[in-house]
Amino acid sequence: MDRDKKRRAALAVISGTVLVSVLTGCANSGGTTSVNKGTIGFITLNQTQEIFISQTKAAQQWADKNSYKLLVGDPNNDPLTQANIIDGWIDSKQVDALLIGPVDEKALLPSLDKANTAKIPTIVSSGLDKPQNDHQGVLVVDWNLFGRNAGEALAGCINERFGGTAKIVILDGPELPGDIVTGRINGELQKIKELSPKSTVVAQQNGQGKRLPSLDIMAALLLANPDITAVTGTNDDSMIGVANAFKAAGKDPSKMCIVGLDATEEGLALVKSGEFYATVDLQPIQQILDGLKLLNDMKAGSVAADARRIVVDTKIVKATS
Amino acid sequence: MLEARELSKSYGAVKALDTVSFRAVGGEVIAIVGDNGAGKSTLLKVLSGAITHDTGQLRVGGELVDFRSPHDAEQVGIEAVYQDLALVNTLDVGSNIFLGREIPRKGMAGRIGLIDRRAMRREGREALRDLLGVEFPTMRRTVEMLSGGQRQAVAIVRSASRLEQRGRGVILLDEPTAALGVAQRQRVGMLIKRLASKGHLVVIVSHDLPTVFELASRIFVMRLGRLVTELHANDSDLSTLVGLITGAIEPTDITKVVADDDATASSDINRSSRGTK
Amino acid sequence: MATADTTKVVEADDAVSAPVRALQIGRDYGIGGFFFLLLLIFSLASPTFLSGPNLLGILTAASVVSLFALAEALVVIAGAIDLSVVPIAALVGVIVALSLNAGIPVWLAVLIGLGVGFLCGLLNASVIEFMNMSSLIATLATLTTLTGVVLLITNGKPIFGVTALAPLGQGRTLGVQNPILVMIATYALVGIVMSQTKFGNRLLAVGGNAEAARRAGVRRRFYVFAPFVACGVISAGAGIVVLGRLGSAQPTFANSILFDAITAVALAGVLLSGGRGSILKVLLGSLIVATIANGLVLLRVSSFWTYVTTGLLLAVAVWADGAVSRAIERTSLSTEHRKEAARA
């Protein structure tokens, strides 16, 4: 009896949670203007990381201004959930257009075919090199290039501050499918090898893309190898942990070489203060706005294939630049 | 010391207790026996305050009592030890004996909630020795490491030491020898006799008839909620008792009138038991 | 037997046999032995490992996870579980950071933070007690809700440039990092409360056998609320230490932290069924988790092995604990029966 009661309570909570997430996640519609040009399904990796939240915000503002409704999905970094949300939108005819930042583009191919069959204009942000069909546009984000930029900045710093030789640490993770993390890391390693051949990567560890684990790992590494001077990895957040570890070890981060990625608000502030040598900007807001504009054009009429391929610019941000 | 007059308790149409009356005094061991559903557990729960009777009177030490909770019963010196013993397996013997009335440290430390574990172990050991005549090798051992007999001893001494604080009282034991081996059963039997010799009234509810014969001076037989008869252990035998429990023998079949010769016991059984066939 | 001398003092059976005792010793001291084995292996494998600065580094890294583990342990001892410790810390970190940035004095901001932790614990316990919900489900709901609340407050952005707590998080006293001192002080306090006070004794009793505790006159409801409230406050403390260490408040923490904390609690032999718990062992469990992470970094083993090791450790710890308890139960009963048989 009691157990049954508990089970029922559990069900109630779970269904309540689902309901709430449906309400907040999917029915996040904006645009109260009288003319409605349709609904855009907007889905990125998650709605918990700063970069995606700011993208969503920008997309919402754009939609409001341009008389679109925006449906926001949150797959919480799960490729299957993402595919399910998109399939659901298409099947229930809830969306007239899609802007997708794939968790794993390969897992998404059936859903993209489905969108094509339904003739729904779709923008795929990162992962695809060129449009696969007439209803698709792509934002080409080259994660490897992103990483190469970071590697280039790091090598530049090593040349500038340490005469071209340094012991380097790479903090990778979190474990995302697809190319998002591995692309960055591979690009970094490639450029380091190319531009700073005398340097060595002494450790590659999982900072989980977060500052606290990165801090603890870096603190341990600095004890074993006190002569580590250069660090990069997945993002600004983990490099913030690194900067703290240098400080805890009594070293001035601004005399080291720390290169972040993503150009978050905090990352940019640290570049300005000198603790980061550089961060790499993927211009996340601009790429989303470009994508939405293309989507708007595609809805209005057919757009030539090469105009449906936008290459996202990456940019190294240094204190001096 | 403990007197019940026409206690009744019904659950809907079922009379779990039907005008049960008896009297017992300190120093006695009495047993309540009966088949499943005869009402012995209900009687035990009424006596311990776990449930409240519908009609009838209950007197403890001559005072009319009205229990609303086990706490009320404990207030007048009635302690119950149920079959599950209600011990915390993961705590040591001392902590179990003094759970709920931990001994505070002296002075300021005690006032901020610090407890004196050493005193709890020492006093627990003394209680086991004085009240039950049991010596434990160590009081630090957790209850899960104890044998069945030792656990029973801990549960009994916890109740007994509570009674001890207020002089004499009543201790109700629910199936004290269930799930015990022969040697353990004998040991628990000795504990029970010793408790009675300290002047407490011990009430046993049990299926274990040989042990009941061995321990109790008087045996109350219940059937269908009624207390049908009382036997003096010295003057009766096992087959008569079994017959009375099952209904094969009626109380009226017993020709020999029980002599009130036990110096410590006096009884007033409602032997007429209205409606007995 | 009917004429037994009822005044004779009898020696109670010493029912504990050698195998049971061995199992008990294994359960009681196994974790300490394992910790020293770990120290031995790593110090042989890495010259840096046993250096003073690295040991202090392990303790500093352990300070946060050990506070989470301690918070979790109190709830687990009481027979429940709390999945919301990490978002409570995140919420507290954010609120304290915002308070400090708004110019509120440090002591008040810390007090506000601990108060928020207190309220979160109160919320968890209330949901469990008054809505008759299992702690797993109730705190899972809190976990999700609080994560959302923190993201709403911060918009997903960390709050940075919080320097007021740097002395707490980054400073040293007599050469020892302050987070380590916070950890030691908290463990000492909770350790004394659990082992030396009426409260600790009764909390263990409620966790071990709630019905027995109730019959002994223990107010059950108080001991449902108290561990969750204490858990909330200690989690809040962890959040404040993190804020001090990083100088910024993150809206979300790394996923591994809750897992590490629960592993530490399991290593301590605080059974998920409650009632058992040595605070010192919880500290040892946390140190083991932090030591493995540190040692594998020093040995430059791929960090994926940290996951594998910690995961296996959790499984083995829980399995061993359960197996030993069952074996003790079984063996002590069978010993009893063997003795019976020998007498017969």
pLDDT at C3 over 50: no
The pLDDT of residue B70 is 80
Strands (E), chain A: 39-43, 69-73, 97-100, 122-125, 136-140, 167-172, 200-206, 228-233, 257-261, 278-281, 309-311, 315-318
CA-CA distances (angstroms) from residue C275 to A172, B153, B233, C203, C296? 41, 22, 43, 8, 34
How does pLDDT run across C181-226, given as a tens digit for each residue? 999 999 999 999 998 999 998 999 888 888 888 877 788 889 999 9
- Label residue A246 by pLDDT band (50, 70, 90): very high
**C134/A9 touch (CB, cutoff 8 Å), yes or no:** yes
**φ/ψ (deg, to 5) at B173:** -120, 120
The 10s digit of each residue's pLDDT in C253-306 is: 887 889 899 989 988 887 666 667 789 999 999 999 999 888 888 888 877 777
| Residue C3 or A266, more confident | A266
Residue B104 forms contact with C (CB below 8 Å): yes
Q: In this predicted structure, what is the pLDDT of residue A6?
A: 52
Our measurement of the distance from residue B188's CA atom to the centroid of its chain's CA atoms, rounded to an integer in Å, reads 13
Task: State both tokens at C217.
Answer: 């006159």
Enumerate the residues of chain B whose CB falls inside 8 A of the CB of residue C333. 148
End-to-end Cα distance, chain B: 32
- The answer, yes or no, to whether residue C29 has pLDDT greater than 60, is yes
pLDDT given at position B268: 42
**Per-residue pLDDT, A44:** 92
What is the 3-class SS of B60-86, one letter each residue?
A: ECCEEECCCCHHHHHHCCEEEECCCCC
Is A182 buried (19+), middle (13-18) or exposed (0-12) by CB count in 10 A?
Answer: middle
Mean pLDDT across B248-262: 57
Could you give phi then psi for residue C250, rounded to 5 degrees? -95, 140
What percent of chain B lies above the pLDDT cut of 70? Answer: 90
Report the pLDDT value the prediction gives residue B167, as an integer from 0 to 100: 74
Predicted pLDDT of residue C334: 56
**Count of all residues that appear for chain A in the document:** 321
DSSP codes, A220-256 = HHHHH-TTEEEEEES-HHHHHHHHHHHHHTT--GGGS
C269 to chain A, closest Cα gap in Å: 26
Q: Which residues pair with B63 in a beta bridge?
A: B60
* Reported CATH class of domain A26-141+284-312: alpha beta
Judged by a CB distance cut-off of 8 A, whether residue A213 touches chain C is yes
Name the packing angle between helices C220-246 and C198-208 (round to 10°).
110
d(CA B128, CA B190): 13
Say what the pLDDT of residue C122 is. Answer: 94
Phi and psi angles of residue B24, each rounded to the nearest 5 degrees, phi first: -150, 155
Residue written as token pair 């020709």: B255
Chain C: give the shortest CA distance to residue A248, in Å: 7
CA distances A299 to A30, A40, A71, A123, C158, Å, are 19, 11, 17, 11, 37
Other Cβ atoms closer than 10 A to C121: 30
Chains C and B touch, using 3 or more CB pairs below 8 Å: yes
CA A142 – CA A127 distance, rounded (Å): 8
CB nearest to B115's CB, from C198, C216, C276 = C198
The answer for B 129-168 residues in CB contact with C (under 8 A) is 129, 133-137, 141, 144-150, 153
CB atoms within 10 A of CB B139: 21
Q: Tally Cβ neighbours within 10 Å of residue C334.
A: 13
Judged against a pLDDT cut of 90, whether residue B100 lies above it is answered with no
The verdict on a CB contact (< 8 Å) between C151 and A269 is no
In chain C, the percentage of residues whose pLDDT exceeds 90 is 38
ipTM over 0.90: no
Q: Report the DSSP pairing between strands B78-81 and B29-34.
A: unpaired
Domain that holds residue C134: 62-323
Mean pLDDT in chain B?
Answer: 80
Q: Are strands B218-223 and B226-232 parallel, antiparallel or unpaired?
A: antiparallel
- The set of residues, in sequence order, having a beta carbon less than 8 Å from that of C344 and lying 6+ positions away, is B182
Q: What mean pLDDT is reported for chain C?
A: 84
- Asked if residue A285 lies in contact with residue A51, where contact means CB atoms within 8 angstroms, the answer is no
The full set of domain ranges for chain B reads 2-89+147-253
Neighbours of chain B (3+ CB pairs under 8 A): C
| Amino acid letter, residue B89 | N
Question: Cα(B273)–Cα(B18) distance, rounded to whole angstroms?
Answer: 9
Chain C: nearest CA to A301, how far in angstroms?
Answer: 36
pLDDT of residue A63: 92
Q: Give yes or no for a contact between C311 and C215, defined as CB atoms under 8 angstroms apart.
A: no
- End-to-end C-alpha distance for chain A, whole angstroms: 69
Question: What does the pLDDT read at residue A191?
Answer: 93
- Window from A162-171, C99-108, C164-173 with minimum mean pLDDT: C164-173
Main-chain dihedrals φ then ψ at residue B165, nearest 5 degrees: -65, -25
* CA–CA gap between residue C246 and residue A138 (Å, rounded): 38
- Is C36 within the bounds of a domain? no
Calculate how close chain C gets to A239, using CA atoms only, in Å: 11
Q: Which of B91, B105, B135, B193 to mutate to test the interface with C (most CBs of C within 10 A)?
A: B91
List chains adjacent to chain C, taking adjacency as at least 3 C-beta pairs closer than 8 Å.
A, B
Residue scoring higher pLDDT (B71 or A318): A318
Task: In whole angstroms, give the CA distance from residue A240 to residue A263.
Answer: 12
Here the CATH number for the domain that contains residue C252 is: 1.10.3470
Q: How confident is the model at residue A1 (pLDDT cuts 50, 70, 90)?
A: very low
**Residue in A50, A220, A240 closest to C57 by CB:** A220
Judge whether A6 is closer than 8 Å to chain C, CB to CB: yes
In chain C, which among 251-310 make CB contacts under 8 A with chain A? 251-257, 290, 293-294, 297-298, 300, 302-304, 306
**C-chain residue closest to B98, CA distance:** C216
Radius of gyration of chain A (CA): 22
Whether C155 shows a pLDDT value over 90: the answer reads no
pLDDT in tens, B195-209: 888 888 999 998 888
For C75-85, the pLDDT digits (tens) are 999 888 999 99
Span C29-34, average pLDDT:
84
pLDDT band per the 50, 70, 90 thresholds, residue A8? low
User: Minimum mean pLDDT among B270-274, C44-48, C148-152: which range?
Assistant: B270-274
**Number of domains forming the structure of chain C:** 1
Is the minimum CB–CB distance between C162 and chain A shorter than 8 Å?
Answer: no
Determine the average pLDDT of the residues in B16-34. 88
In a domain, C330, yes or no: no
How confident is the model over B135-148, as pLDDT tens digits? 777 788 888 877 77
Residue with tokens 């005008």: B19
Instruction: Identify all chain C residues contacting B104, using CB atoms and an 8 Å cutoff.
Output: 198
B2-89+147-253 folds as Rossmann fold (3.40.50)
DSSP assignment letter at A313: P
* Token output for A162: 């340490």
Residue window 71-100, chain B: list those with CB within 8 Å of chain C. Answer: 71, 84-91, 95, 99-100
Phi–psi pair at B91, nearest 5 degrees: -100, 160
- Tell me the residues of chain A between 145 and 204 that have a Cβ less than 8 Å away from chain C: 173-174, 202-204
Q: What is the mean pLDDT of residues C32-44?
A: 89
How far is Cα A96 from Cα A119, in angstroms, rounded to an integer? 9
Which residue intervals of chain A bear CATH 3.40.50.2300? 26-141+284-312, 143-281
Interface check for B190 against chain C (CB to CB < 8 A): the answer is: yes
User: How big is the CA angle at C218 (ends C15 and C24), to the nearest 5 degrees?
Assistant: 25
CB contact under 8 A, C300 and A240: no
> Which residue has 């308070």 as its token pair?
C99
Calculate how close chain B gets to C304, using CA atoms only, in Å: 37
More confident residue, A152 or A107: A152
Averaged pLDDT for residues C23-32: 78
Interface of A with C in 265-304 (CB under 8 A): 265-266, 269
pLDDT band at A105 (very low <50, low <70, confident <90, very high): confident
**H or E segment and range at residue C183:** helix C178-196
B111 touches chain C (CB under 8 A): no
Q: C6–B134: do the CB atoms touch at under 8 Å? A: no
Please answer whether residues B142 and B89 qualify as being in contact, where contact means their C-beta atoms are separated by less than 8 angstroms.
yes
Beta strand A228-233 with A257-261 is: parallel
Residue A162: what pLDDT? 92
Contact A257, A30 (CB under 8 A): no
Mean pLDDT of chain A: 85
> Do residue C246 and residue A215 have CB atoms under 8 angstroms apart?
yes
Q: Chain C within 8 Å of B277 (Cβ-Cβ)?
A: no
Question: What pLDDT, on the 0 to 100 scale, is given for residue B117?
Answer: 86
CATH class of A143-281: alpha beta
Q: Would you say B176 and B156 are in contact if contact means Cβ atoms under 8 Å apart?
A: yes
Whether C51 is in a domain gets the answer no
**Nearest-by-CA chain B residue for C201:** B95
Q: Which residues in chain C are closer than 8 Å to B149, comparing Cβ atoms?
A: 12-13
| C-alpha angle B128-B134-B137 in degrees, rounded to nearest 5 | 95
- Residue C334, domain member (yes or no): no
Q: pLDDT tens across A33-48, in order?
A: 457 888 999 999 988 8
Q: Is the dihedral of CA A119, A122, A128, A134 positive or negative?
A: positive
Minimum-distance CB partner of C13 among B117, B147, B190: B147
Determine the average pLDDT of the residues in C148-152.
Answer: 89
pLDDT of residue C2 exceeding 50: no
User: CA-to-CA distance for A158 and A164, rounded, in angstroms?
Assistant: 5
Residues from chain C that touch B193, judged by Cβ atoms under 8 A, are: 4, 6
Count CB neighbours of C139 within 10 A.
29
Q: Are C205 and B91 inside 8 Å of each other by CB?
A: yes
Please report the pLDDT score of residue C108 as a whole number. Answer: 94
